[in-house]
Amino acid sequence: MEPRTLWPEGAAPEYVAARAALLEEERDLLAHAERVAAARRALPPGPVLPPYTFAEGPRDLSEDGPVTATAMDGLFDGHDTLVVYHLMFAPDAEEACPMCSMWVDGFHGVAHHLARHTGFAVVARAPLPRLRAWGRRRGWDGLRLLSSHDSTFNRDMGVENADGAQHPGVSVYDREGHRVRHRYTMQASVSDDLPERGIDPLSPVWQVLDLLPGGRGSWYAANDYAGARRG
């Protein structure tokens, strides 16, 4: 491969040496990420799931109905795989988790690309009217937003505690006819050393902040600053 120049002319020798050393670390990181992705794809088949159903309204969020009971095998949209984002939105909460909302903002922006490869849905424990109102506020038009309010889905997937506390995460499922099999789940917090970083690679926000001199620092997403659309 032809060598790449990653600094402009005039860079100090100490910068060139430090950047070259960093490049080797970045190459190692990419290689490790490839090995992890391969191991993830090679997981043996997971368990077949119960026939969960969810409350779902029209993809046009300006419409309130009709509301349907959607079986999980109906979420694949013609594909054999399904990705679910577990939105942290408790039944009695007024708003969804701001960090979760940031993640779903990103998924919404690339949903038309994902639709070429897999089904994609956002599932929350909040009642459907409250979830759809939040989707309107955020501008999540076209995403499949489903409420698991009347099922044990969140608890079974490990994104709900016994006391009802919700946790963000991402799951992948396979379809075998009308049977749905669990393939993979990752939650946001899986390490005490690196809290809330389990699914950070799925959001461009964190990847860009990590490029900055100050890094991500103590920043946390909020639901009230400009860019969070309101209906």
Beta strands in 16-95 (DSSP E): 53-56, 68-71, 81-87
pLDDT for 21: 95
Q: Which residues pair with 202 in a beta bridge?
A: none
pLDDT for 26: 95
What digits encode the pLDDT tens for the residues 11-35?
999 999 999 999 999 999 999 999 9
Query: Percentage of the chain with pLDDT > 90?
Result: 85
User: Exposed, middle or buried: residue 124 (CB in 10 Å: 0-12, 13-18, 19+)?
Assistant: buried
Domain 48-187: which topology? Glutaredoxin (3.40.30)
pLDDT for 60: 93
What digits encode the pLDDT tens for the residues 99-133?
999 999 999 999 999 999 999 999 999 999 999 99
pLDDT for 190: 75
pLDDT for 3: 59
Q: Are 187 and 199 in contact (CB under 8 A)?
A: yes
Residue ranges of the chain with per-residue pLDDT less than 70: 1-3, 191, 226-231
